[in-house]
């Protein structure tokens, strides 16, 4: 083997070693990122399952706040971007104007 062939083989071997180390490093980083993505997917799936419960809690808070005219509950909901309006109760005159259903 000549000197040129020796140095060419040595350089090619060193390049292969560097590329193998880069591949190992990138694979390790990829595994870590996949773990993060899996954790985020799990969080999103669990959040979707709890969405109905959250809506019921918000509805109950809004109803209680409106029923008792509780400004603290209203302020709490508004801080989180939730607003509600209180409908006026039906007056006796309005009830009388509505005809009774026929049998």
Domain extents in the chain: 3-86
What average pLDDT does this structure show over 1-24? 96
57-89 tens-digit pLDDT: 999 999 998 888 889 999 999 999 988 888 776
Longest Cα pair distance anywhere in the chain, in angstroms?
A: 112
27-57 tens-digit pLDDT: 999 999 999 999 999 999 999 889 989 999 9
| Token pair for 100 | 């009774």
pLDDT at position 94 is 54
Helix (H) / strand (E) containing 41: helix 3-67
Query: pTM of the predicted model, to two decimals?
Result: 0.47
How far apart CA 83 and CA 93 sit, in angstroms, is 30
Phi-psi region of 81 (alpha: psi -120 to 50; beta: other; left: phi over 0): left
């Amino acid at each position: 083997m000549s000197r040129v062939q020796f140095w060419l083989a040595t350089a090619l071997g060193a390049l292969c070693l560097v590329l193998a180390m880069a591949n190992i490093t990138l694979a390790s980083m990829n595994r870590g990122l996949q773990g993060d993505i899996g954790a985020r997917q799990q969080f999103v799936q669990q959040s979707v399952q709890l969405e109905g419960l959250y809506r019921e809690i918000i509805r109950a808070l809004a109803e209680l706040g409106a029923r008792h005219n509780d400004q603290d509950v209203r302020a709490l909901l508004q801080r989180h971007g939730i607003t509600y309006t209180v409908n006026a109760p039906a007056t006796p005159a309005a009830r009388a104007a509505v005809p009774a259903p026929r049998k």
